[in-house]
Amino acid sequence: MYCADRMPARFLLLLAGLLLSLTALAGPKIEQWTTANGARVLFVRAPDLPILDLRLVFDAGSARDGALPGLASLTNGLLSDGAGPWDADRIAERLESVGAELEVDSARDMAWVAVRTLTEAKPLETTLETLAAVLARPTFESDDLERNRKAMLTAVRLGEQNPGTVAGKAFYRALYGDHPYGSPSGGTRESLQAITRDDVLRFYRRYYVARNAVVAIVGDLDRARAEALAQRVTADLPAGEPAPALPPVQPLAEGREIRRPFPSSQSHILMGQPGMRRGDPDYFVLYVGNHILGGSGLVSQLSEEVREKRGLSYSVYSYFSPMRREGPFVLGAQTKNAKAEEAMGVMRDTLRRFIERGPTADELTAAKQNITGGFPLRISSNSKIVEYLAMIGFYRLPLDYLDRFVGRIEAVTAEQIRDAFGRRIHPDRFVTVVVGNGQAAAAD
Amino acid sequence: MRSIVALLLLLFVLPLQAAGKVQEYRLDNGMKVIVKEDHRAPIVVSQVWYKVGSSYEPVGITGISHVLEHMMFKGTEAHPPGEFSRIIAANGGRENAFTGRDYTAYFQTLSKDRLEVALELEADRMRNLTLPPEEFVKEVNVVKEERRMRTEDKPTSLTYEQFSAVAYRVLPYSHPVIGWMNDLDNLTIEDLRRWYRLWYAPNNATLVVVGDVDPQQVLALAKRHFGPLKPERIPTLKPLREPPQRGETRVRVKAPAKEPYLVLGYKTPVLRTAEQEWEPYALDMLASILDGGSSARLSRELVRGREIAVSAGAEYSAFTRLSGMLLLDGSPAPGTDMATLERALREQVDRLREEPVSRQELERIQAQVVASKVYELDSVFYQAMQIGTLETVGLDWRLLDQYVDRIKAVTPEQVQAVARKYLTDDALTVAVLEPLPLENGTTAPATTGGNDVLR
């Protein structure tokens, strides 16, 4: 299936009353408590469907890899490969024979274990029993470790054949240097070969503990049952300690351009700098500003200039990836090699103009209408709500985050956007990565 | 085990009712309107499906349906290029479009009170597209960039594209949805105008609306906006049949890559073409036996177990317009050669032919199917997607309600029977990706995207 990826840019149809009526919109009712051993729980009751979504998030992403890139991901992946009395086959069989779904995965900040099950007694019981073991009694058998190590090594090689992945790795490394965010989440050949079972055990014991966990629950159950359920899946975790604070991200001192020759028909372009963190005082201002610049698909300024006016790229965008510390602010595109310089020039010009002038009144109105008018879509399913809960809990955002979302967006002014981009975005100090065959290689 | 399945089935009836019934209407001009109520959230998804896609395209203009999909955002008399998207955005909506082998579809997700905005705009561009030449020149370049990104620079995509091209002798599933680069190079605005006139008419379209709506009101809005549109004489498609394959077909694909990759495909019927109605459900079940989760045979035996694959998959769809394939694919584990991986995948097929699957495996898949039917209700978009797909490939959406029962009725003997009948060595096509070096500092081989002679 092929998508046109159409979306919006400046606009016109002013619909009186739209903003007003949406101001009243509130998020779902979130309840919060802490389990006996210190795991924080966020819960939303969703009685319409007989489904339970349960997501446990640990501060155990690749930012905790230390000297061994890939350790967080390897540890997380092994959780479902053996736990309590069950091996990987039995765990999969138990869950799938009642139609339950299990997901284990990790990113830079977080590692998570998530299940979705019917709330009927038997599937629910089987799922909870299995989940409790996966969390608290993983076996980390050597055979499983070796198999997962090989799979990650293959994934590293697959990444090396993908110009977009090559560009992404180089970008993070250049942006963050020795900061934990610079470490490749999937590991390197050397680190993956060096990781031992003891490393995995030590990582697991340190980070998969109750006080380092957030439990997000959405489903057809009442508060009392939700409490019992959260208690049950976390009961066997030691209380432990929260992970320590991550070191601050250093701003980039100077601009840097990295060109990697690659036998691809397109050049993959990434440019940017450390951006903002979750809970950042400029969060909503930068979010709305970026929506106009490159975050709203086809109607964004970048899309208008690079794609709509010039036909240079299928996908061109910008985004902030807010994390515990300053996650990246990125502008990206891919274009055929011969057009790489032109595309980069247009992207830079568009950004510079935006920083200088900020958005027009019409652009700002259109962006607000899109974001606030689309608010009901953000919370329209249990699976979306459970992700919001995990995010709010993990980053300790206020429980009224969703209730206040629309109002915070509406309060943003054009002057605030111009001011925030001017203060925080410095194109002259950007990291620029180009992977492709556009130019001869330059020094790295 | 069996009692669990029975319990789950009972349960499944309730949420379906809670989610609301499906209403079907036909306007006087032949346009079909299907509405499903779902009142969980104050939103609505609106999708317009056209019966046209890459399998409708003759050689020479492959990719035209997809390029036309892009051009559908380039303006009408009433709304200049880009305005469609801006209006949807200003109304808080999200929108996109997609093209497949058997369909082209356009969708918006909106707050429920904004449905009319989407319907008005969709009705306008169904008949009134201006197709400006200067917009076409830019947009076809965007599509070529899309092709470079999705296919030219992706070794596994290139492999699959070559695989399909040799697997089908006759069926137009042989060419890529995005089109061959040569055809994109030679496409003209006149081609697009013809294609648009041919297929974009109310009697070749289905409107699917799912969400917090009243079906009668949706019908009234559909009548108001789509009702005045004139129907067209839609071309009658010749019935296409793939001739019997008379021996294994193999293709090697060389591309810059680090890891090899393997695709196997057996020609199989679908619901529209099967001799027996149960056969596609048995094939569906068979694919799940191999790859329906982490406890299925490929993960259990090849990824874990023998540890010869880092990934292995199986795929089959009963819901396409023309016959298709049961596909297997895999990437070898380090130290395993491609011949070993291929043999292992074929041994899995042999086993399905030779011994009946266990009752326990069938029951696991039934439980998964029943549960996923409930999980689907968490997404209005997915519900609309399923209705639209079935209608547009020429099936009745009511089949969706029968799906669980049909899968439940499949027996081990039927799975074995379809394996014996269709998964034969003579009906097999194999594609193997052979990596070429991609070391840094080398220039690109002339083959990667070198056929690009633009402007």
Give the DSSP letter string of A380-435: SSHHHHHHHHHHHHHTT--TTHHHHHHHHHHT--HHHHHHHHHHH--GGG-EEEEE
**A331 within a domain of the structure (yes/no):** yes
Nearest chain A residue to B373 by CA distance is: A99
- Do A96 and A227 reside in the same domain of the chain? yes
**B3 within a domain of the structure (yes/no):** no
Res. B455: pLDDT tops 60:
no
Q: B-chain residues within 8 Å CB-CB of A150?
A: 307, 310, 333-334
- Do B133 and B168 reside in the same domain of the chain? yes
**B5 within a domain of the structure (yes/no):** no
Tokens of B359: 């009752």
Going by pLDDT thresholds of 50, 70 and 90, the confidence category of residue B19 is: low
Give the largest CA-CA distance in chain A: 65
Contact B96 A5 (CB under 8 A): yes
Question: Is residue A330 within 8 Å of residue A321, measured between CB atoms?
Answer: yes
Of the residues A380, A386, A388, A439, the best mutation for testing chain B's interface (the one with the most B CB atoms within 10 Å of its CB) is A380
**A10 within a domain of the structure (yes/no):** no
Dihedral of alpha carbons B153, B156, B160, B162, sign: positive
- Do B195 and B93 reside in the same domain of the chain? yes
Long-range contacts of B185-190 (CB under 8 A, 24+ apart): B185/B144, B185/B451, B185/B452, B185/B453, B185/B454, B186/B60, B187/B61, B187/B63, B187/B64, B187/B67, B187/B140, B189/B131, B189/B133, B189/B136
- Do B206 and B256 reside in the same domain of the chain? no
Of B285, B287, B281, the C-alpha closest to B266 is B287
Question: Closest approach of chain A CAs to the CA of B374, in angstroms?
Answer: 8
**Strands B94-99 and A2-3, sheet pairing:** antiparallel
**B143 within a domain of the structure (yes/no):** yes
Domain that holds residue A338: 256-436
- Assess A163–B contact: CB distance below 8 Å, yes or no: yes
**B192 within a domain of the structure (yes/no):** yes
- Do B377 and B428 reside in the same domain of the chain? yes
Tokens of A420: 């925030």
**Looking at residue B127, which CATH number applies to its domain?**
3.30.830.10
- Assess A267–B contact: CB distance below 8 Å, yes or no: no
**Looking at residue A316, which CATH number applies to its domain?**
3.30.830.10
**A245 within a domain of the structure (yes/no):** no
**Strands B249-256 and B428-436, sheet pairing:** parallel
3-state secondary structure of A43: strand
**A151 within a domain of the structure (yes/no):** yes
Which residues 129-188 of B have a C-beta within 8 angstroms of A?
137-146, 148-150, 152-155, 177-178
**B8 within a domain of the structure (yes/no):** no
Q: What DSSP string describes B44-59?
A: EEEEEEES--GGGPPT
CA A152, A156, A162: angle at the middle one, nearest 5? Answer: 140
Closest by Cβ to B374, choosing from A14, A18, A51:
A51
Report residue B9 CA to chain centroid gap. Answer: 28
- Do B219 and B253 reside in the same domain of the chain? no
Q: How many residues does chain A have?
A: 444
Nearest chain A residue to B2 by CA distance is: A97
- The string of pLDDT tens digits covering residues B45-59 is 999 999 999 999 999
**A157 within a domain of the structure (yes/no):** yes
- Assess B295–A contact: CB distance below 8 Å, yes or no: yes
Rounded to an integer, the average pLDDT of B290-310 is 97
Q: How many CA within 13 A on the CB side of residue A14?
A: 6
Radius of gyration of chain A (CA): 23
Count interface pairs A-B at CB distance under 8 A: 303
Q: B-chain residues within 8 Å CB-CB of A98?
A: 4, 8, 367, 371
The whole-number pLDDT of residue B363 equals: 95
Q: B-chain residues within 8 Å CB-CB of A157?
A: 258-259
Tokens of B49: 């499906």
Question: Is residue B396 within 8 Å of residue B434, measured between CB atoms?
Answer: no
Rounded to an integer, the average pLDDT of B256-264 is 96
Contact A263 B334 (CB under 8 A): no
Domain that holds residue B109: 22-227
Query: How far is the C-alpha of B373 from the C-alpha of A156, rounded, in Å?
Result: 36
Contact B310 A377 (CB under 8 A): no
- Do B285 and B395 reside in the same domain of the chain? yes
Question: Closest approach of chain A CAs to the CA of B119, in angstroms?
Answer: 16
Question: Closest approach of chain B CAs to the CA of A51, in angstroms?
Answer: 7
Question: Is residue A203 within 8 Å of residue A75, measured between CB atoms?
Answer: yes
Number of domains observed in the structure of chain B? 2
- Do A288 and A177 reside in the same domain of the chain? no
Contact B256 A372 (CB under 8 A): no
Number of domains observed in the structure of chain A? 2
- Do B206 and B308 reside in the same domain of the chain? no
Going by pLDDT thresholds of 50, 70 and 90, the confidence category of residue B440 is: low
The whole-number pLDDT of residue A26 equals: 82
- Do A164 and A263 reside in the same domain of the chain? no
Which stretches of chain A drop beneath a pLDDT of 70? Answer: 1-25, 438-444
Query: How far is the C-alpha of A44 from the C-alpha of A403, rounded, in Å?
Result: 14
Contact B83 A12 (CB under 8 A): yes
The edge-to-edge listing of strands for the beta sheet with A101-106 is: A31-34, A40-45, A213-219, A51-58, A111-118, A101-106
Tokens of B145: 């960039």
- Do B147 and B262 reside in the same domain of the chain? no
- Do A275 and A384 reside in the same domain of the chain? yes
Residue for token pair 């899109």: A370
Closest by Cβ to B89, choosing from A11, A102, A123:
A11
Domain limit, last residue, from A173, A200, A234: A234
Catalytic residue numbers of B? 69
**B72 within a domain of the structure (yes/no):** yes
- Assess A250–B contact: CB distance below 8 Å, yes or no: no
- Do B77 and B137 reside in the same domain of the chain? yes
- Do A230 and A279 reside in the same domain of the chain? no
Question: Closest approach of chain B CAs to the CA of A38, in angstroms?
Answer: 31
- Do A282 and A201 reside in the same domain of the chain? no
Q: What is the 8-class DSSP label of residue A81? A: G
* Helix residue spans in A239-360 (DSSP H): 283-290, 301-302, 340-357
- Do B302 and B368 reside in the same domain of the chain? yes
The residue type found at A421 is F
**B297 within a domain of the structure (yes/no):** yes
- Assess A437–B contact: CB distance below 8 Å, yes or no: yes
- Assess A296–B contact: CB distance below 8 Å, yes or no: yes
- The string of pLDDT tens digits covering residues B354-406 is 999 999 999 999 999 999 999 999 999 999 999 999 999 999 999 999 999 99
Q: How many residues does chain B have?
A: 455
Contact A441 B440 (CB under 8 A): yes
- Assess B82–A contact: CB distance below 8 Å, yes or no: yes
- Do B366 and B303 reside in the same domain of the chain? yes
Phi, psi for B240 (deg, rounded to 5):
-105, 140
Res. B14: pLDDT tops 70:
no
What is the interface pTM, i.e. ipTM, of the complex? 0.91
Contact A161 B178 (CB under 8 A): no
**CA dist A342 → A204, A312, B449 (Å):** 48, 9, 19
Contact A310 B294 (CB under 8 A): no
Query: How far is the C-alpha of A141 from the C-alpha of A82, rounded, in Å?
Result: 7
Of the residues B55, B67, B99, B111, the best mutation for testing chain A's interface (the one with the most A CB atoms within 10 Å of its CB) is B111
Of A64, A17, A267, A309, the C-alpha closest to A179 is A64
**B32 within a domain of the structure (yes/no):** yes
The whole-number pLDDT of residue A437 equals: 82
Which residues 64-83 of A have a C-beta within 8 angstroms of B?
80
The whole-number pLDDT of residue A297 equals: 87
pTM of the model: 0.92
The whole-number pLDDT of residue A442 equals: 41
- Assess A356–B contact: CB distance below 8 Å, yes or no: no
Going by pLDDT thresholds of 50, 70 and 90, the confidence category of residue B444 is: very low
- Do A267 and A362 reside in the same domain of the chain? yes
The whole-number pLDDT of residue B21 equals: 86
Query: How far is the C-alpha of A263 from the C-alpha of B448, rounded, in Å?
Result: 8
